[in-house]
């Protein structure tokens, strides 16, 4: 429940919620204004326990206490049920879990809202922050896992054996505490990978993964639509920068415009989801071959929906 402080003349409602256990150490923070969940946890101490049998295979990026900790990268201190209820508080609706299509004789991946996952921990007094995928190694591509947007399906539902109602159903994740599955057809978890695969090709990324038992903070961020107002300085006019911007925006599905300003800068208004806009900004930093970007300022703004293409303004 949201924490509230009430006085005679005012009611102050915090914009976040803390869910904690009786020990007060395990917590889940809900940042409603930012569309984020922040979880505490640790790199699974059980990871690799059955390596002789599993041969290093990892099935989950996240699990809860008592979940499949031996094949999970991170064990968070909150249950799947707590995380499920928390993300609903962010305004995210349950999607659909992976399912078998009898007519097409194939598995259909999960559908639903997408989220980004970030992990951070302390190293020599400094905070290291990476995408969750950076902790995994793809044995097929021989590279770290590609950055993706995880799908919130909410898990497949199964009969609730603890309920007196014979027809009662609950998400399977509530039972197994499976939270983020690497296999896109694993409907037992709350979140799935969107990448089709018959089995998980992932192992831990030894070059990035901190020691087992390391305390971590995990941020699950809704990949919501937004606008970015961008000002680019440097040698950015007369070098095809606006056309370069338009071309890449069109490829990524970003809407908005690029415009030359009298002060020699290029103004860009871009709308799309957060992950796509992050990639778009990285591309703008590089610019076309004849350009030289010296500075790039980005201001986050609410999504307007007024743009349906990406144009060039004069």
CA distances from 79 to 13, 48, 82, 297 (A): 25, 22, 5, 39
Instruction: Please tell me the distance from the alpha carbon of residue 178 to that of residue 75, in angstroms, as a whole number.
Output: 10
Query: Catalytic residue among 131, 156, 228, 242, which?
Result: 242
CB 273 within 8 A of CB 227: no
Q: Is 177 a catalytic residue?
A: no
For residue 275, which phi and psi values (nearest 5 degrees)? -60, -45
C-alpha 128 chain-centroid distance:
17
- Three-state SS letters, 70-128: HHEEEEECCCHHHHHHHHHHCCCCCCECCEEECCCCEEECCECCEEEEEEEEEECCEEE
CB 40 within 8 A of CB 219: no
Instruction: Please tell me the distance from the alpha carbon of residue 135 to that of residue 145, in angstroms, as a whole number.
Output: 8
Query: Catalytic residue among 205, 260, 263, 301, which?
Result: 260
Q: Is 242 a catalytic residue?
A: yes
Residues with catalytic roles: 242, 260
């Amino acid at each position: 429940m949201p924490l509230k402080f009430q006085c005679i003349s005012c009611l102050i409602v915090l914009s976040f919620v803390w869910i904690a256990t009786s020990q007060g150490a395990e917590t889940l923070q809900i940042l409603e204004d930012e569309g984020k969940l922040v979880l505490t946890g640790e790199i699974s101490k059980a990871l690799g326990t059955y390596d002789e049998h599993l041969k290093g295979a990892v099935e989950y990026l996240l699990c809860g206490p008592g979940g499949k900790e031996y094949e999970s990268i991170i064990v968070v201190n909150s249950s799947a049920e707590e995380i499920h209820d928390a993300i609903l508080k962010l305004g995210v609706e349950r999607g659909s879990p992976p399912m078998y299509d009898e007519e097409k004789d194939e598995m259909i991946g999960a559908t639903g809202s997408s989220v980004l996952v970030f992990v951070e921990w302390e190293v020599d007094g400094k905070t290291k922050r990476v995408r969750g995928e950076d902790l995994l190694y793809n044995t097929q591509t021989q590279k770290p896992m590609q950055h993706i947007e995880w799908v919130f399906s909410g898990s497949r539902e199964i009969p609730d054996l603890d309920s007196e109602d014979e027809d009662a159903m609950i998400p399977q994740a509530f039972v197994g505490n499976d939270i983020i599955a690497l296999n896109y057809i694993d409907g037992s978890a709350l979140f799935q990978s969107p990448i089709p695969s018959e089995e998980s090709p992932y192992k831990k990324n030894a070059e990035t993964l901190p020691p087992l038992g390391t305390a971590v903070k995990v941020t699950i961020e809704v990949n919501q639509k937004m606008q970015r107002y961008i000002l680019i300085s440097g040698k950015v006019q007369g070098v095809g920068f606006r056309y370069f911007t338009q071309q890449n925006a069109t490829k990524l599905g970003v809407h908005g415009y690029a415009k030359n300003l009298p002060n020699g800068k290029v103004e860009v208004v871009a709308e799309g989801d957060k992950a796509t806009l992050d990639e778009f900004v990285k591309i703008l930093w590089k610019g076309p071959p004849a350009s030289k970007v010296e500075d790039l300022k980005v201001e986050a703004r609410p999504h307007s929906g007024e743009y349906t293409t990406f144009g060039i303004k004069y």
